């Protein structure tokens, strides 16, 4: 400010009257506030739209239609030798079981007095899921004693019948559908009225394994959830100690020179490397070079560890840097060694930040799909893995890959399954974030 | 606070505690301390005064090797604690800092309880065999820091919840608990109000009976009130070092005179 400007007398004015300059500034501020509010509004609207569309599509995956009828497990069909030897009974394939179920359904409908107008026995069988005979067979082989008895069975209804009760399939759409006829749907309606068909919560979706493209009604997430869980276990066990140790060394002990500068730049860059590159790396190193099995959670976990490490290191270093240097001075001034200063005073103060970073890293890893495709986790896996540690080497699927897989299948019933799987994935992420918040609260000491 | 009266206190002992000769300190290429020679006596309060950036804190931090924590800092020369070279290759700075305690400019209690703050030093140095010993050390240290009466009922309360002056006395108690021979204080009162400052100054005078205290201060009045020996630093050089009375009443160097009369600094 020059002297001349400082000495220019201000024009006399009332503070009640807003002058032009002030008006302009106020208008600018109002505009900026409006922009901010609009931006937040768009964000919230996008989020709401996303959640509503996913939940709207996906909640049906958590309900499933079952047909409950008494079935006579005829001995001459299931155990022709009559000796209840599971090895011999295993020779009867699902094709031996299917007619049994169809017959039982037909008899039950007759007994209930429900007419089967326009539905021939083959169509009637098609109303039961192809998965049902396999389930009954597994049940019989596990417990041969029930052969010869008449027991009440809950069987999965076919995908189209299930869709009818979820409003996915209508009488009109059935006319154009070669897989289902309006007559079958009418019959299903009558069966529902008689209490033979009902729709209820679908535990199988969460606990059961995946099913083939023709049996969407049987598809579940069990293997994928376990696979994702195993991978998170591997990531947590490897990435947390390695990441925290690396950060503490770099931040507190390493000398500041060209070498550590290069490491620092590289860590920051690694965080931005596309995840599929980590997949290629994993394929080359862990599978081709180290010879680890394909589709195994251990390989997925290792790849995701590599991917998560930079995130954890960056977050941990930021948390360590945020601890005031006066605390370090205080400890060192008392004659604490550098390590005592770090582990007794700095690390506890940095803990909330470290945990948040780790959980954000884990959440990122949980949702990662691309690198898993390259190491074979996209395979169709129905076998549950063993308990860890052996199970880490068994083939599994993963949640995001399962979503990817299901969206590629042709049967429209998989749309709801994929959305349902997304809901499960989101619930997992929300739970992890809640955990992060809780741990933060717990460790954060505002003294 | 305009009390320029020099408290006339006899120096109890004439034993040499720290002997620094030709100390030079470099921050990268900056020559921060230039050939400083100081002899610090036992059971004496020695004050370092001088304008900001004159190197008095830097020199203080050489005495317990806190400068080691700064990568670009390089110290040359000879600093001896009771005749032993503290920069000798065999010396572990951690062990040295247990003997030469430090109190910092800003009160920096650990975010732990009052008890744990004081007990931390004795714990890591294994000074207490059992809980009772530790309790005794904590009580003695807090009493020595004139804080015991204020906090004896709430030893479990967080140290950071105390007032500024109390926090600084807690830091002094923490430093005293380790049983040091020398206590370095880097502007211990600059963040405190006059009442807290008076309490801390009184405390410093009491501490003199057991330790050799070296205090860096901005305030000449404070140096005059608490110290027996005063060193005046200017632009990285030790301009004058003498009895406090001498410095404040009859300075030999014109720069010292300018500083204490308020013409420079």
Residues with Cβ within 8 Å of A16's Cβ and at least 6 positions away in sequence, in order, are none
User: In angstroms, what is the C-alpha Rg of chain B?
Assistant: 18
Residue of B nearest to A255 (CA): B71
Q: Do B71 and A255 touch (CB under 8 A)?
A: yes
Q: What's the CATH number where B88 sits?
A: 3.40.50.300
Report H helices in B126-163.
131-144, 148-151
B28, B73, B74, B111: which to substitute to probe chain A, counting the most A Cβ within 10 Å? B111
Is B6 a domain residue?
no
Domain extent for B204? 16-260
Q: Which residues touch A10 (CB under 8 Å, ≥6 apart)?
A: none
B11: in domain: no
Q: Which helix (H) or strand (E) holds B182?
A: strand B182-186
Residues of each domain in chain A carrying CATH 1.10.3720.10: 222-443
Which of A251, A335, A342 best tests the B interface by mutation, with the highest count of B CBs <10 A?
A: A335
Query: A257 — contact with chain B (CB < 8 Å)?
Result: no
pTM, to two decimals: 0.81
Domain A222-443 grouped into CATH 1.10.3720.10: yes
Q: Is residue B10 part of a domain?
A: no
Please indicate if any CB of chain B lies within 8 Å of the CB of A258.
no
**Beta carbons within 8 Å of A215's beta carbon, 6+ residues apart:** A129, A130, A131, A159
Give the number of domains in chain B.
1
Please indicate, yes or no, if residue B8 is contained in any of the structural domains: no
Q: Is B99 within 8 Å of B182 (Cβ atoms)?
A: yes
Per-residue pLDDT of chain A in tens (447 residues, 90 and over written 9): 455 555 667 777 888 888 888 999 999 999 999 999 999 999 999 999 999 999 988 888 898 899 988 888 888 878 877 778 888 888 888 888 888 888 888 888 888 888 887 788 888 888 888 888 888 888 888 888 888 888 888 888 888 888 888 888 888 888 888 888 888 888 888 888 888 888 888 888 888 888 888 888 888 899 999 999 999 999 999 999 999 999 999 998 888 889 999 999 999 999 889 989 999 999 999 999 998 888 889 999 999 999 999 999 999 999 999 999 889 989 998 888 889 999 999 998 998 889 888 998 999 899 889 999 988 888 888 888 888 888 889 888 999 999 999 999 888 889 889 999 999 999 999 998 898 888 888 877 654
Buried b (16+ CB within 10 A) or exposed e, A326-352: ebbbbbbbbbbbbebbbebbbbbbbbb
Chain A and chain B share a number of CB contacts under 8 A equal to 71
**CA atoms of A304 and A296, how far apart (whole Å):** 13
- Bridge partners (DSSP) of residue B184 are B102, B214
Considering only alpha carbons, which residue of chain A is nearest residue B158? Answer: A447
| Domain assignment present for B9 | no
CA angle B21, B26, B28 (to 5 degrees): 165
């Amino acid at each position: 400010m020059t002297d001349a400007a400082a000495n220019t007398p201000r024009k006399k004015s009332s503070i009640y009257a807003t002058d032009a300059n002030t008006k302009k500034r106020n208008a600018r501020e109002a505009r900026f506030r409006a922009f901010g509010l609009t931006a937040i509004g768009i964000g919230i609207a996008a989020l709401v739209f996303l959640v509503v569309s996913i939940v709207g599509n996906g909640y049906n995956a958590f309900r499933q239609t079952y047909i409950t009828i008494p079935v006579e497990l005829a001995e001459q069909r299931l155990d022709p030798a009559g000796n209840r030897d599971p090895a011999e009974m295993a020779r009867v394939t699902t094709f031996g079981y299917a007619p049994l179920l169809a017959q039982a359904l037909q008899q039950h409908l007759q007994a209930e007095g429900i007419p089967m107008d326009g539905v021939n026995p083959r169509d009637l069988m098609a109303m039961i899921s192809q998965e049902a005979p396999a389930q009954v067979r597994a049940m019989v082989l596990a417990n041969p004693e029930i052969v010869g008895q008449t027991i009440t069975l809950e069987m999965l209804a076919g995908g189209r019948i299930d869709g009818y009760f979820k409003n996915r399939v209508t009488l009109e759409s059935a006319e154009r559908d070669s897989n289902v006829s309006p007559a079958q749907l009418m019959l299903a309606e009558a069966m529902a009225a008689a209490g033979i068909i009902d729709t209820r919560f679908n535990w199988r979706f969460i606990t059961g394994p995946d099913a083939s493209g023709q049996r969407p009604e049987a598809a579940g997430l069990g293997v994928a959830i376990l696979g994702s869980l195993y991978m998170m276990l591997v990531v947590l066990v490897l990435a947390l100690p390695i990441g925290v140790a690396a950060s503490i060394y770099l931040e507190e002990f390493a000398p500041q020179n060209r070498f550590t500068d290069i490491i620092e730049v590289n860590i920051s860059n690694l965080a931005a490397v596309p995840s599929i590159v980590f997949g290629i790396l994993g394929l080359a190193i862990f599978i081709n070079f180290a010879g680890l099995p394909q589709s195994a959670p251990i390989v997925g976990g290792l790849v995701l560890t590599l991917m998560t490490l930079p995130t954890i290191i960056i977050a941990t270093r930021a948390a360590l840097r945020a601890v005031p240097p006066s605390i370090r001075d205080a400890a060192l001034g008392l004659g604490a060694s550098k390590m005592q200063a770090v582990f007794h005073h700095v690390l506890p103060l940095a803990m909330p930040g470290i945990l948040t970073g780790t959980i954000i890293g884990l959440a990122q890893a949980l949702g990662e799909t691309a690198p898993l495709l390259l190491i074979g986790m996209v395979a169709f896996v129905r076998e549950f893995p063993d308990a860890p540690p052996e199970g880490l080497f068994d083939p599994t699927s993963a949640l995001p890959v399962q979503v990817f897989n299901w969206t590629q299948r042709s049967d429209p019933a998989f749309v709801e399954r994929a959305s349902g799987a997304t809901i499960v994935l989101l619930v997992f992420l929300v739970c992890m974030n809640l955990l992060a918040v809780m741990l933060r609260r717990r460790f954060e000491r505002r003294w | 606070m305009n009390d320029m009266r020099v408290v006339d206190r006899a120096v109890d002992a004439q034993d040499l505690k720290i002997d620094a000769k030709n100390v030079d300190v470099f921050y990268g290429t900056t020559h921060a301390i230039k050939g400083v020679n100081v002899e610090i006596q036992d059971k004496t309060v020695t004050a370092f005064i001088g304008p900001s950036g004159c190197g008095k804190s830097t020199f203080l931090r050489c005495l317990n090797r806190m400068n080691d924590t700064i990568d670009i800092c390089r110290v040359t020369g000879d600093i001896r604690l009771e005749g032993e070279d503290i920069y000798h290759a065999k010396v572990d700075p951690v062990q040295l800092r247990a003997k030469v305690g430090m109190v910092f400019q800003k009160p920096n209690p650990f975010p732990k309880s009052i008890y744990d703050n004081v007990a931390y030093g004795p714990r890591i140095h294994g000074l207490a065999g059992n809980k009772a010993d530790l309790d005794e050390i904590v009580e003695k240290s807090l009493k020595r820091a004139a804080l015991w009466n204020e906090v004896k009922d709430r030893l479990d309360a967080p140290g950071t919840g105390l007032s500024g002056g109390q926090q600084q006395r807690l830091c002094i108690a923490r430093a005293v608990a380790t049983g040091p021979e020398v206590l370095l204080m880097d502007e211990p009162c600059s963040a405190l109000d006059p009442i807290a400052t008076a309490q801390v100054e009184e405390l410093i005078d009491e501490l003199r009976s057991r330790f050799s205290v070296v205090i860096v201060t901005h305030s000449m009045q404070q140096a005059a009130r608490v110290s027996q020996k005063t060193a005046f630093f200017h632009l990285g050089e030790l301009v004058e070092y003498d009895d406090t009375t001498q410095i404040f009443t009859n300075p030999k160097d014109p720069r010292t005179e300018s500083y204490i009369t308020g013409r420079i600094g």
